[in-house]
Structure 1
């Protein structure tokens, strides 16, 4: 059985089991601490009965800056999942789903229009997981992951920007059908 609670800074020493997955994005220590300081209720961990971190989710609440307001890529008030991961030995127990549902509840409590996230277009298991939870592909961000230099020997990978509408979006204005066909550049993503 997992215990769910807010992240504490000393949890950074216990993330290694979760961060070894090749699909898990890892960050500098300051980045994790910034999320803890700004959005503590959206940074949750799951721990086993021995106190080991077996999963976590990092999220934030945001909107595009005002100068972006007239751009077709403007994002209204929403929640964003920056990272969610579960240690290999704790997968298929519903931990990722529970962590995501907790973040969605916080999004609704903060009157967000939707929750969004980015996922590698080749991470089929994650895409299926999110679709099973009601997320859909809103757009494809070309060459989002990897090297963005002009060196043709460096590879990059597309991301899907996936979204799930929250209670506020009664008319489902912030999702679309066939989103994978709507391609944008990384510079269009705020």
Structure 2
């Protein structure tokens, strides 16, 4: 470090530029060097032709996987709610699979079924962007009041992301929710504040002007599929560091906050 400090101004500038080119910077409040957010990443609505690559991303990240019909179920029933992250070459590096719950005894609310980001693209903030975009779409299209998810009790990294960054609250513990017998935290995120922000003039959601008055509403009347029979909620996250991206997924990615 002392040698670096002795370098000339030009040399230090070259070093700084090199670090920027490698997308490396020091996270405020942390001693860790982490990847710098890459503006070349694109978040967009998932299309039918993306489903195969979303499943491939799932296979790379998750210990338990979904059949293709489960992706089609989400894509056909709620095409507005699932999003993908793609790199500058158009390659899918992450996704969020989301839906609306169909509970006539509750207010309209969405659910995050699966969230995954490839290891090569961790620490870029993609999980938060995917989650926020899906939540906005739930509000815009279905007037959702909150969004829910499940996460393993042992998944401390994912809990950090949901609780500290995305402001999810634990609503209950579901005993033996997972196939291996581990309990799950059921978590909810209130969307009232986000909905208020989207009503402000000039705020754009999903590429369209957000309504300045009444929020849009809708209903998902498609038949609800039993998630546990078709793969269940997203699964366990392992090999993570600090704040981790995904809902319950394994080896998905880490975010710097």
Coarse TM-score class (shorter-chain normalised) = 0.7 to 0.9
Structure 1 segment 39-58 matched on structure 2, within 5 A: 39-58=78-97
- Count residues with an aligned counterpart: 154
Q: Which has the higher contact order (CA 8 A, sep 6+)?
A: 2
Structure 1 segment 118-129 matched on structure 2, within 5 A: 118-129=150-161
Cα offset, 1:76, TM superposition: 2.8
What is the rounded CA distance, in whole Å, between the counterparts of 2:175 and 2:81 in structure 1? Answer: 28
Cα offset, 1:122, TM superposition: 1.4
What is the TM-score of this pair, normalised by structure 1?
A: 0.73
Specify the alignment match of 1:115 in structure 2: 147
What is the TM-score of this pair, normalised by structure 2?
A: 0.55
Higher strand share: 1
1:12-60 Cα deviation digits (max 9, x unpaired) = 332334532246x521101101111111110111111112111101111
Give the 3 Å change call, closer, same or farther, for CA 14–140 of structure 1 in structure 2: same
Query: Could you list the runs of 5+ residues in structure 1 that have no partner in the other structure?
Result: 70-74, 147-154, 171-185
**Cα contact 1:107–1:166 (8 A) shared by 2:** no
Specify the alignment match of 1:106 in structure 2: 137
Cα offset, 1:103, TM superposition: 1.2
**Cα contact 2:51–2:72 (8 A) shared by 1:** no
Query: Could you list the runs of 5+ residues in structure 2 that have no partner in the other structure?
Result: 1-39, 196-227, 229-257
Specify the alignment match of 1:81 in structure 2: 112
What is the rounded CA distance, in whole Å, between the counterparts of 2:88 and 2:160 in structure 1? Answer: 29
Give the 3 Å change call, closer, same or farther, for CA 37–122 of structure 1 in structure 2: same
**Cα contact 1:18–1:88 (8 A) shared by 2:** no
Cα offset, 1:87, TM superposition: 0.6
Larger radius of gyration: 2
